[in-house]
């Protein structure tokens, strides 16, 4: 693979000062993410996976080390709107219809009205929500709301998609369905995706690269290249190859003393 | 609407029953005094003895006079029916006689008070919203403005009102309109400011982070997130604010020697010993407040519905 590096972290550390003393959310984290990668971050609570993602997004500032996004600092990357961010809760604005929620970033970034309309139509089709443009968020199921929030992150031209446990609050069946859709979407859009999750099968099913993290201090304990083919039907999860990768992830989690 | 109607009517009925029953003990002394003057036979006969007797014993010993307490010209406590009749006499009947704007009409006095309320409400909500915006925008202003806003509400408005009138006439402002609006806004701005501070701070961290990922400007954050998120809070505080503005307008008419307005009617009723005038002015004020709050409530309902919120 000769793809260019999109995100590069070197000895990244982030320490929160709290009343109970310093908390090492991240310690000496180094990682390269290549263009078009689908990278999952997995680990128990407190391992820093969300913090790492927030560092990439310039929502947190690391206390030591270097990180670049598209070759520039996360701050500059954010200013140039280099990524779309999907939060754990869909976070749609309740007073805006689905269409107007997707329009929000476009309004802020100053796209023309015609361009806005065209993009809304396209991304809502992409997440199978055509016809729901005029519905308000509360009229949609949790899974549909999360799809709308993905559409919102896809509406503008960011090559990177940062997703923080987007399906964490959804039930298994909906989650499977969305995972499958997300893979198709990734294949179609060729974006680089960073995906935080708690679920081993989800991480293995989705990723080209799985980053296993462990807590206290938050660090990377293993990076696993997923050898599964790009084309992944849901029943690939019953193959030996899949189970082998899942096993390695589980071993990695255990090695990080994450269950002590 | 219909769901709340029954409980509200039940409470109203309960109040009317208690009110009606209370008329007898409240008025018995006045009734007996009148009866004595008319040469009636009451017990005890001496005024001094009656003063020392308990209300209960007076009621029990003069059962035949109790009914008279429900039909006095100047009762201590008028009956609901008397108040209703007086209200009708000074409103509906006036309209029928074509004297809507007569000085004896509560519609005229209500209109005067309503105008002050309106200007006070406008001024008060403007100051309240502006204050909230400043406080939310700047930490320094929060620390310097909020304590003063709280202290302002600890000063009794009745004490402040005459001073505002005196100062504004000293400043060469003609008429009572402006000082009354000022007094009214003094009561009105606070609930609006508190509600709007809460409302503008309602967006959660995730909603704010989202805008940050878009690299949105402070102004965009304000207009596209904070303002719409604050609207439900705004209406709740507007409803409190308009009721406070009405109270403020009435208070503005009380200690200032005003001759028109519901507050003036209450004061004049007190000075001339016509309790029916006081009570009907009180009810006119209550009805006015009810109408104003209901209007805002309906507006809120329609607007928030349009914004997709379940109200």
Please name the residues between 217 and 236 in chain B that touch chain A, using a CB distance below 8 Å.
220, 224-225, 228-229, 231
B112-124 average pLDDT score: 94
How close, in Å, is residue B219 to chain A by CA atoms?
10
Q: What average pLDDT does the structure give for chain B?
A: 89
pLDDT band at B16 (very low <50, low <70, confident <90, very high): very high
A31 beta partners? A9
Of A39, A49, A6, nearest to A208 by C-alpha is A39
**What's the pLDDT score for residue B307?**
83
Token pair 């927030």 is at which residue? Answer: A54
Q: Does A169 touch chain B (CB under 8 A)?
A: no
pLDDT at B306 over 70: yes
Minimum Cα–Cα distance from B221: chain A residue: A108
Residues of B in contact with A88 (CB under 8 A): 206
Contact check, Cβ <8 Å, B211/A108: yes
Cα–Cα distances (Å) from B52 to A75, B49, B57, in that order, read 85, 5, 10
**What's the pLDDT score for residue B188?**
93
Contact check, Cβ <8 Å, B207/A97: no
Residues of B in contact with A109 (CB under 8 A): 214
Contact check, Cβ <8 Å, B220/A91: no
Helix residue spans in chain B (DSSP H) = 2-37, 47-52, 55-61, 63-66, 80-90, 92-96, 106-137, 139-154, 157-170, 177-200, 205-213, 218-221, 227-253, 262-271, 275-306
Quick check: bond before B134 cis, omega within 30?
no
**What's the pLDDT score for residue A23?**
87
* Residue among B210, B216, B228 minimizing CB distance to A95: B228
Tell me A208's DSSP state: S
Q: Does B32 touch chain A (CB under 8 A)?
A: no
Contact check, Cβ <8 Å, B213/A79: no
Cα end-to-end distance, chain A, whole Å: 38
Residues of B in contact with A107 (CB under 8 A): 224
Q: Mean pLDDT per 10-residue run, chain A (260 residues)?
A: 79 88 88 90 88 91 90 90 89 92 93 93 88 92 90 88 88 85 87 92 90 88 84 85 89 69
* Residue among B209, B308, B309 minimizing CB distance to A97: B308
Cα separation, A196 vs A176, in Å, equals 16
Instruction: Identify the weakest region by mean pLDDT among A245-259, B21-35, B128-142, B188-202.
Output: A245-259
What would the two tokens of residue A27 be? Answer: 């310690």
Residues of B in contact with A108 (CB under 8 A): 211, 214-216, 220, 224
* Residue among A81, A91, A137 minimizing CB distance to B215: A81
Residue A36, phi then psi, degrees to nearest 5: 85, 0
Best of A75, A87, A95 to substitute, by most chain B Cβ atoms within 10 angstroms, is A95
Report residue B94 CA to chain centroid gap.
24
Of A169, A138, A78, nearest to A70 by C-alpha is A78
Q: Does B144 touch chain A (CB under 8 A)?
A: no
Say if residues B110 and B172 touch (Cβ distance below 8 Å).
Answer: no
Say if residues B188 and B214 touch (Cβ distance below 8 Å).
Answer: no
**What's the pLDDT score for residue A260?**
47
Please name the residues between 57 and 76 in chain A that touch chain B, using a CB distance below 8 Å.
57-59
**What's the pLDDT score for residue B68?**
85
**What's the pLDDT score for residue A258?**
46
Q: What angle do CA A23, A28, A29 make, to 5 degrees?
A: 105
Tell me the whole-structure pTM to 2 decimals. Answer: 0.83
Best of B207, B215, B300 to substitute, by most chain A Cβ atoms within 10 angstroms, is B215
**What's the pLDDT score for residue B119?**
95
Contact check, Cβ <8 Å, B210/A84: no
* Residue among B210, B212, B310 minimizing CB distance to A138: B310
How close, in Å, is residue B230 to chain A by CA atoms?
11
Q: Does A228 touch chain B (CB under 8 A)?
A: no
**Tell me: the pLDDT tens digits for B45-91?**
888 888 888 888 888 888 888 888 898 888 889 999 999 999 998 88
pLDDT band at B36 (very low <50, low <70, confident <90, very high): confident
Of A252, A251, A205, nearest to A226 by C-alpha is A205
How much is the ipTM here? 0.87
H or E element, residue A8: strand A5-18
Of B105, B68, B70, nearest to B86 by C-alpha is B105
Contact check, Cβ <8 Å, A94/B215: no
Q: Does A250 touch chain B (CB under 8 A)?
A: no
Q: Does B306 touch chain A (CB under 8 A)?
A: no
Contact check, Cβ <8 Å, B214/A91: no
């Amino acid at each position: 693979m000769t793809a260019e590096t999109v995100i590069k972290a070197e000895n990244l550390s982030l320490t929160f000062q709290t009343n109970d003393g310093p908390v090492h959310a991240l310690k000496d984290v180094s990682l390269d993410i290549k263009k078009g990668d689908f990278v999952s971050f997995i680990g128990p609570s407190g391992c820093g996976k969300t913090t790492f993602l927030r560092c990439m997004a310039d929502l947190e500032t690391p206390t030591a080390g270097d990180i670049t996004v598209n070759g520039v600092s996360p701050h500059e990357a954010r200013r140039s709107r280099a990524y779309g961010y999907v939060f754990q809760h869909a976070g749609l604005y309740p007073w805006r219809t689905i269409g107007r929620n997707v329009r929000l970033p476009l309004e802020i970034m100053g796209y023309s009205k015609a361009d806005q309309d065209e993009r809304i139509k396209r991304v809502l089709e992409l997440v199978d929500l055509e016809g729901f443009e005029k519905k308000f968020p509360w009229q949609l199921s949790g899974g549909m709301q999360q799809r709308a929030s993905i559409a919102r992150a896809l509406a503008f031209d960011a090559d990177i998609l940062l997703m923080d446990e987007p399906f964490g609050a959804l039930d298994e069946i909906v989650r499977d369905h969305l995972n499958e859709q997300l893979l198709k979407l990734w294949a179609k859009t060729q974006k680089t995706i960073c995906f935080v999750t708690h679920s081993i099968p989800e991480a293995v099913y989705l990723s080209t690269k799985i980053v296993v993290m462990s807590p206290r201090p938050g660090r990377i304990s293993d990076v696993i290249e997923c050898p599964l083919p790009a084309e992944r039907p849901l029943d690939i999860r019953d193959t030996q190859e899949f189970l082998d990768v899942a096993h390695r992830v589980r071993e990695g989690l255990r090695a990080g003393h994450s269950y002590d | 609407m219909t769901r709340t109607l029954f409980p509200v009517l039940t409470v109203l009925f309960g109040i009317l029953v208690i009110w009606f029953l209370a008329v007898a003990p409240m008025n018995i002394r006045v009734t007996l005094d009148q009866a004595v003057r008319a040469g009636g036979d009451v017990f005890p006969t001496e005024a001094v003895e009656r003063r020392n007797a308990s209300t209960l014993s007076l009621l029990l010993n003069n059962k035949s006079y109790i009914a008279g307490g429900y039909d006095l010209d100047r009762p201590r406590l008028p009956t609901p029916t008397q108040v209703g009749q007086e209200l009708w006499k000074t409103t509906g009947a006036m309209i029928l006689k074509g004297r809507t704007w007569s000085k004896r009409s509560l519609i005229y006095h209500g209109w005067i008070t309503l105008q002050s309320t309106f200007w006070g409400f406008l001024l008060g909500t403007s100051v309240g919203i502006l204050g909230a915006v400043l406080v939310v925008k700047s930490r320094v202003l929060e620390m310097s403005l909020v304590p003063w806003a709280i202290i302002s509400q600890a000063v009794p408005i009745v004490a402040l009102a005459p001073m505002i009138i005196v100062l504004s006439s000293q400043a060469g402002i003609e008429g009572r309109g402006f000082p009354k609006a000022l007094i009214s806004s003094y009561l009105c701005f606070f609930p609006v400011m508190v509600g709007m501070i809460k409302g503008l701070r309602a967006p959660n961290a995730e909603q704010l982070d989202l805008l940050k990922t878009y690299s949105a400007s402070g102004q965009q954050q304000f207009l596209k997130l904070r303002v719409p998120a604050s609207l439900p809070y705004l209406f709740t505080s507007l409803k409190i604010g308009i009721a406070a503005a009405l109270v403020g307008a009435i208070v503005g008419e009380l200690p200032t020697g005003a001759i028109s307005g519901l507050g003036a009617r209450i004061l004049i009723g007190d000075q001339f010993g016509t309790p029916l005038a006081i009570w009907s002015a009180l009810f006119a004020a209550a009805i006015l407040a009810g109408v104003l709050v209901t209007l805002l409530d309906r507006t809120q309902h329609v607007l928030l519905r349009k914004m997709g919120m379940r109200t």
